[in-house]
Amino acid sequence: MYGTHDIPTSMKESGLSLDFSQVDYGYQYTCKLADNKEFNKIILVDKARVLINPVEPINLPKHITNYLMLEFDKNLTIAPHQEKSFFATFPIEIGIFIFKRREFEPIDIISLLPAKYSLYGDPRIGVVARYHKTEIYSQQPEVDKLHYGIIHITVRNSDAQWNTISKLVLNAYGMKLFYNEKLVKLYASMKINNEISAETECFTPPPEKGFKKAMELYVSKKIAITSSKFLMMEGI
């Protein structure tokens, strides 16, 4: 389902059905979910194509935060000045873009998972974040690419003490998602400063054969980004 498609077209995968039908005044877009909920939209355009790819998972049921918080199912204790990597999962939202030439317009955002939100930090100064609890893996796990992505996390303990981490908070505006026919990937780093603080950031990995970079929703909306990092000051 992910990728660029000529329209009219229709497709179905993992209980999600999408259809672009030609009508006299353009195209009718129909999205039908596994619970039979249906959404329709008329697109007034003579000729265009559609791009379907994963987007930052912070938009549903409406955009209330720029942050994603992953809670690990196990605490991880890391030695002083050590750097280690592992895998985890994160929720996926699916962006539907119509485009002509290089002008992209998001027409729909879909999630096959219920969105959960939580508070990171003190209620007075903390931030609301999209919440996801994940197992941790030493090797890349298999997941449904329309539900979950795989995040490769590199943790570096810059402190002179042992430290324990239980969560990761990311700025979604820094996310660089990559996908192929089988999976969605994201890369992030976490630099531990001390027992309660760390700096996190998503980054672009070296090119990997067969993977495409996803169109970010904030890029398509021409939103200016001031920083892609997040400073965890309320516990790690």
Residue 73 φ/ψ, nearest 5 degrees: -75, -15
Q: What is the pLDDT of residue 101?
A: 83
Do residues 159 and 194 touch, judged by C-beta distance below 8 A? yes
Query: pLDDT tens, 36-50?
Result: 889 999 999 988 999
Average pLDDT over residues 194-217: 94
Rounded to the nearest integer, the mean pLDDT of the chain is: 94
- What pLDDT band is residue 94 in, cutting at 50, 70 and 90? very high
Average pLDDT over residues 133-143: 97
Distance CA 183, CA 96 (A): 17
Location of structure tokens 């050590």: 82
Q: What is the pLDDT of residue 219?
A: 59
**Measured between alpha carbons, how far is residue 217 from residues 17, 76, 126, 224 in Å?**
21, 32, 25, 12
Query: pLDDT tens, 177-190?
Result: 999 999 999 999 99
Nearest by Cα to 173 from 55, 52, 3: 55
Strands (E), 121-162: 127-134, 148-157
Sign of CA dihedral 53, 143, 88, 148: positive
Q: What is the pLDDT of residue 47?
A: 87
How large a percentage of the chain has pLDDT more than 90?
A: 86
- String of b and e for 182-206 (b: at least 16 CB within 10 Å)? ebbbbbbbbbbbeeebbbbbbeeee
Location of structure tokens 């309320």: 234
